[in-house]
Amino acid sequence: MLKFNKKLMLSASTAAALAVLTAGCMGGSPSTSDTTTEVNGKATIDGGSTYPVVNNKTSDYYVNPQVAKDAPKIYNGRVPTANELAAWDKDIMPDGTGLPEGSGTADEGSDIYDAKCVSCHGDFGSGGGGYPALSKGNAYDLQKTLTNNRWKDPDADGPVRVFGSYWPQASTLFWYIKDGMPHPFSKSLTDDEVYSLVAYILSINEMKIDGVEVDDDYVLNRDKFLKIKMPNRDGFIPKIDGPHGLDNVRAFYANPTNFGAQNLKKGAVRCMTNCQKESARTIYIKNGGIKDFLPPMSDVRDLPAEKKVAVNAAAIYADTCKMCHGNGVGPALGSKSDWAPYVAEGMDTLYKKGIHGTDAGMPAKGGASLSDADFKTVVDYLINGK
Amino acid sequence: MDNKKSNQEIDRRDFFKKAAASVTAIAGTSLISSNARADDPAIMNNVPWGQKWGDPVTKNRYGMPSKYEHNVLRRNTKLLASGNFRASIAVTPIQESMGIITPNGLFFSRSHGGVAHVDPSMYRLMIHGLVEKPIVLTLEQLKRYPSVTRTHFIECPANGGQEWRGPQFNSVQFAKGFMSCAEWTGVYLKTILADLGLDPKAQWMLAEGSDNSEMGRSIPIDKVLDDAMIVWGQNGEALRPEQGYPVRILLPGWEGNLCVKWLKRLEFSAEPWYAKEETSKYTALTPSGKAIQHFYANEVNSTVTSPSPEIDWTSLKDGDIVEIQGLAWSGMGTITGVDISFDGGRNYVEAKLKGLVLPKSWTRWSYMHTYKKGEKLILASRAMDDAGYIQPTIDQEVGLVGVECVYHRNAVETWEVTKSGKINHVEIRTMKEVKDA
C-alpha cells in the first residue's frame, strides 16, 4: 500500500505521467486484505502492478524527468582525434566505404586457408567441428534450395545457407575475415591476405565476377570486389537500403502476417474454446531427442561425494585455532611448557577434551568442521609447532 | 540442553493440541496423531550446523550460493557449441528461477568469440559518424551521465528455435532458457546524443563490440531515440564479463544479439551495414525463399516453468493443491494477460499475473490447480501484450513463415502430464504443410 502511494506521488510529478494515470493505466488501488487485485482490468496477485506501453512508449516508468528538465545537454567526454577515428572505424559497407586497396589470388588464398583456416572450416570450406561451412558447392544452384522447407521429413534436403548461396553482400565477408578471423587470433591478416582468402572462398563457391569465373589465378582487387553480385542479393525482406529503408522496416513490422505474429484487432475477443485446428495432434520427441546436456540435467541437492584431501593443519591453525592459541588464551603453538600439563594427562584424554570441548573455553574441535582423525592431526601440529 | 528439549516438547504438544482441535472442528477428523507416525529425525536430532561454529564472516568475501545448490547451473549442448564453446551459448535454468530476476551467475551466456575480459582503465566508448560533435568517453565519464535503472529481459531470438520441425529438448531449460531478466543500470543513449548534434540523415547506428569477433549490428534510429540504453550495472553490481563488462548496449525487448557486449563504438550512417550476424545468421527464411532480415523485437511469449520436464508431479498425491507457475514476456510491450490450457491449447482459462508487471520484462504468472492422481493433461500457456499481440498456435505460426526460420519462434509451448505425473515436452500441431494461418 505504501509502495503504491509512493508510485502515485512520483507519477504526479509530470504532466505526461498524469495523462497516463487518468487514462486508467494504474488501475484501482490494490487492497491489502485481498490477494487478488484488478490492475488494468486484469487479475493480478502478490501486489501486481502494471506499467503499460502506450503508443509504443513505456509510460511514466520510461521518463527520467531529472534529465529532461534540469540537464538537457551534457558532454562528458572529448572529441576523438583523426587517427583514433581511423584506428577504430574499420567497418566495410556494401558501397565500398572502408574497403582498403589490395589484391590477392585464390591460389594464394588456398595456401593461407590450409595454414590458418582448414582446421576449423574443413577441406574446401566444407565445415566441421561445429564451425560453419563456407561452401556446399555451386552458389547459384544452391541459392535455389532456399525455398526448401522440411515440413514432414526432417531428413529431406533443407535450404543451404552458406556464404555463396545465402549472404546478400560480399562486403560482410571481407569485414568479418579482417576483424574476426582467424578466430583464436583475429586482426592478424593483411589486406592482401584477406583479398586472397575472399578470392579462394569465391572460387570454392564457383562464383563469377562480371561473368568471369573466379579460378585459382584470378586476381581479386578492390575494383573487382565491388563488382561482386551475390546470388541471393535480393533474397531478403524488408528492403533496408536507400532513403526509404527505415520506412520499409516500419511498414513491414506494421503487418503481423509478414513475420508470423498474431495481432488481435481492436475490440476482438481472443479465442478461449476450440483454439486448435482439427488436424492438430500431439507430436512427441523422436528418438529420445537431444540429451547431451553439459553438465547432465539434475535437480538433486545432495552433495557430491567429497574427495579425501590431506588436512592442512597450518591453515586450520591460522583460520581457527590462532585467535585463542596465538593470543595467550590457550596453550601456544609449539610451546612445550604450555602443553606439558595437558600431555601429562595422556594423549587420549587430551584429544577427547579437544574433540568435545571443555568448560575452560575450548570449543568442540575449536569450532572447525573436521573428522576426529583430522582434528588429531591439527592437535599434533599445535603441540609440536610443525 | 535436556531442559531446552523438554521445553520444545511441551510447546509442540501444546501446539498439536490446539491444531488438532481446530482441524477437528472443521473437518471432523484428526490429521495429527502424535503416535501414528515415526518422529522425524530432522526434528528430533541435533543437526551438525546447529552445534558447531559456522563460517566466520571473513570467509567468502564475495558470497557464493549454498553448496547444496550445485546443480543449479547454466548448461550447454554440443548442438550449439560452435568454436570450442567460443561461439556458443550456455542457457539459464529457468525451471529454478524465482521472481523475475535472474541471478548474475546464471544469466545466459552467448558470445561470438569467447567471453572477453576488458580492463576498465582501458575502456573507451567512441560515438561518431553523422553527428556534429563526435565523442570519446572513459568509463568514469560515461557513469557521470544521469542514470536510470530498468528491469528488462534479454532473449536470444533462437530461444525455442531448435523445435520448428518438432520437439527436440525434453527440458524447459533448453526449450526456453535462452533468456534471462535483470535490473540494468545505465544511461539512455538519447541523453548522451542530446548534445552531439545528430544529423537528420542518420537512419542507422552501428554498435560494435571490442571482443575478438568485433560483434556488430545495425540498429534503426527509431530504437536508438526510444529506449536504447548504455548499461554498466546488472542487478546492483557491475556487468558480468559474460554480459559485456564493463559496458553493453541494451535494446529493451529486442534480440539479444543486438544488445552488443563489450561495446566500443557507435557510428551513425544513412545506410545499414550488413554486419556478419545480421546477414548470415539472425535472419528468418520463409517458404517463399525470402528471408526476414533485421528481425528486431522478440514477440510475446510464455512458458510453464513448473511443472516442467525438470520439475515433475510424480510426488504429488491425489487432491494436492499445486501452483502452476510460468513466465511471460514480450519485446513489444507489457504483458496484459496469460491464459492456461489443460488440453493442449484447445480451451483456455485465465491465469493470474504475479508481482510487478513491467514493460519488456519477465512477468511471472500463476494458476492454482487441484491435482487428481492419474490425470492426463497437456498444459499450455498463452500470453498477450499491450501492443495487441497474442501467442500463435504452432499451425498459425508455421502457416505464415514455414519451418526454416530458426529464429523468433513464439508459438504456444506444451507439456504433457502423464498418468504418473512425469512431464514431457510435446507439440500440438498438424504435421504437414499448413498454408492458411
Q: Bigger pLDDT: A57 or B286?
A: B286
- Per the CB < 8 A criterion, the answer to whether A289 and B168 are in contact is yes
Q: Which of B58, B172, B268, B280 to mutate to test the interface with A (most CBs of A within 10 A)?
A: B280
Let me know whether B306 and B279 are in one domain: no
* A259 with B401: Cβ contact below 8 A: yes
The shortest CB-CB distance from A245 to any of B125, B272, B388 is to B272
Q: Please state, in angstroms and rounded to a whole number, the distance separating the CA atoms of residues A220 and A200.
A: 10
Chain A residues touching B210 at Cβ < 8 A: none
Closest approach of B123 to chain A, Cα-based (Å): 13
Chain B residues touching A297 at Cβ < 8 A: 75, 171, 173, 310
- Per the CB < 8 A criterion, the answer to whether B218 and B204 are in contact is yes
CATH number at residue B167: 3.90.420.10
Pairing of strands B229-234, B349-350: unpaired
Let me know whether B313 and B257 are in one domain: no
* B169 with A64: Cβ contact below 8 A: no
- Per the CB < 8 A criterion, the answer to whether B419 and B352 are in contact is no
- Per the CB < 8 A criterion, the answer to whether A139 and A207 are in contact is yes
Domain final position from B284, B318, B334: B284
CB atoms within 10 A of CB A69: 10
Residues in chain A: 386
* B393 with A277: Cβ contact below 8 A: yes
Residue B60 inside a domain? The answer is no
pLDDT-derived band at A139, boundaries 50, 70, 90: very high
Q: Which domain holds residue B36?
A: 2-51
Q: Which of A38, A88, A201, A307 to mutate to test the interface with B (most CBs of B within 10 A)?
A: A88
Residues in chain B: 437
The shortest CB-CB distance from B71 to any of A151, A257, A299 is to A299
Q: Is the pLDDT of residue B5 over 80?
A: no
Q: Which of A162-171, A216-225, B82-91 has the lowest mean pLDDT?
A: B82-91
Which residues partner with B90 through β-bridges? B109
For the stretch B25-75, pLDDT in tens is 444 445 555 567 899 999 999 999 999 999 999 999 999 999 999 999 999
Chain A residues touching B116 at Cβ < 8 A: none
pLDDT the model gives residue B26: 47
Let me know whether B385 and B277 are in one domain: no
Chain B residues touching A269 at Cβ < 8 A: none
- Per the CB < 8 A criterion, the answer to whether A84 and B124 are in contact is no
Residue B292 inside a domain? The answer is no
Let me know whether B278 and B308 are in one domain: no
Q: Which of B264, B279, B315, B336 to mutate to test the interface with A (most CBs of A within 10 A)?
A: B279
Q: Please state, in angstroms and rounded to a whole number, the distance separating the CA atoms of residues A260 and B287.
A: 12
Q: Please state, in angstroms and rounded to a whole number, the distance separating the CA atoms of residues A383 and A377.
A: 10
Mean pLDDT of A159-163: 96
Q: Is B60 on the interface with A (CB under 8 A)?
A: no
Residue B133 inside a domain? The answer is yes
Q: Is B227 on the interface with A (CB under 8 A)?
A: yes
pLDDT the model gives residue B284: 97
Pairing of strands A281-283, A42-50: unpaired
Let me know whether B47 and B97 are in one domain: no
Let me know whether B95 and B27 are in one domain: no
* B396 with A272: Cβ contact below 8 A: no
Domains of chain A: 2-70 (no CATH), 93-225 (1.10.760.10), 313-384 (1.10.760.10)
pLDDT the model gives residue A303: 87
Residue B419 inside a domain? The answer is yes
Helices vs strands, H then E, count in chain A: 17, 10
Mean pLDDT of B307-328: 97
Chain B residues touching A88 at Cβ < 8 A: 126, 264-265
Mean pLDDT of A148-167: 89
Q: Please state, in angstroms and rounded to a whole number, the distance separating the CA atoms of residues B51 and A365.
A: 11
Let me know whether B238 and B350 are in one domain: no
- Per the CB < 8 A criterion, the answer to whether B160 and B262 are in contact is no
| Residue A153 burial by Cβ neighbours in a 10 Å radius (0-12, 13-18, 19+) | exposed
Q: Is B432 on the interface with A (CB under 8 A)?
A: yes
Domain final position from B284, B316, B340: B284
Q: Which of A2-16, A83-97, B224-238, B328-342 has the lowest mean pLDDT?
A: A2-16
Percent of chain A exceeding pLDDT 70 equals 81
pLDDT-derived band at B185, boundaries 50, 70, 90: very high
Closest approach of A64 to chain B, Cα-based (Å): 7
* B168 with A169: Cβ contact below 8 A: no
Extended beta strands in B112-251, E state: 124-129, 135-138, 148-155, 179-188, 204-209, 216-220, 229-234, 237-238, 248-250
Phi, psi dihedrals of residue A116, rounded to the nearest 5°: -120, -15
Residue B436 inside a domain? The answer is no
Secondary structure class of B383 (helix, strand, coil): strand
Q: Look at the alpha carbons of B329, B433, B403, B223 in this order and tell me if their dihedral is positive or negative.
A: negative
The shortest CB-CB distance from B427 to any of A283, A367, A369 is to A283
For the stretch A192-239, pLDDT in tens is 999 999 999 999 999 999 999 999 999 999 999 999 999 999 999 999
Joined grid coordinates for residue B13: 504438544
Instruction: Give the nearest chain A residue to B78 (CA atoms).
Output: A292
Helices vs strands, H then E, count in chain B: 10, 26
CATH number at residue B363: 2.60.40.650
Joined grid coordinates for residue A373: 582423525
Residue B62 inside a domain? The answer is no
Q: Is the pLDDT of residue A271 over 70?
A: yes
Let me know whether B18 and B120 are in one domain: no
Q: Which of residues 205-224 of B touch A (CB under 8 A)?
A: 206, 208, 212-214, 216, 218, 220-222
Chain A to chain B Cβ contacts (< 8 Å): 425
For the stretch A341-374, pLDDT in tens is 999 999 999 999 899 888 878 888 888 888 888 9
Let me know whether B252 and B317 are in one domain: no
Let me know whether B200 and B261 are in one domain: yes
Chain A residues touching B228 at Cβ < 8 A: none
Per residue, the 3-state secondary structure of A238-307, as one string, reads CCCCCCCHHHHHHHHHCCHHHHCCEECCCCCCCCCCCCCCCCCEEECCCCCCCCCEECCCCCCCCCCCCC
Domain final position from B255, B284, B313: B284
Contacts of B396 (CB under 8 A, 6+ apart): A262, B411, B437
Let me know whether B322 and B175 are in one domain: no
* A88 with B203: Cβ contact below 8 A: no
Q: How many CA atoms lie within 13 A of A115 on its CB side?
A: 9
Instruction: Give the nearest chain B residue to A93 (CA atoms).
Output: B273
Residue B431 inside a domain? The answer is no
The shortest CB-CB distance from B386 to any of A49, A52, A73 is to A52
Distance of CA A174 to the CA centre of its chain: 25
Q: Is B395 on the interface with A (CB under 8 A)?
A: yes
Number of domains present in the structure of chain B: 3
Closest approach of A299 to chain B, Cα-based (Å): 6
Contacts of A130 (CB under 8 A, 6+ apart): B78, B81, B82, B83, B84
Let me know whether B231 and B273 are in one domain: yes
Q: Please state, in angstroms and rounded to a whole number, the distance separating the CA atoms of residues B267 and B134.
A: 9
Q: Is the pLDDT of residue A321 over 90?
A: no
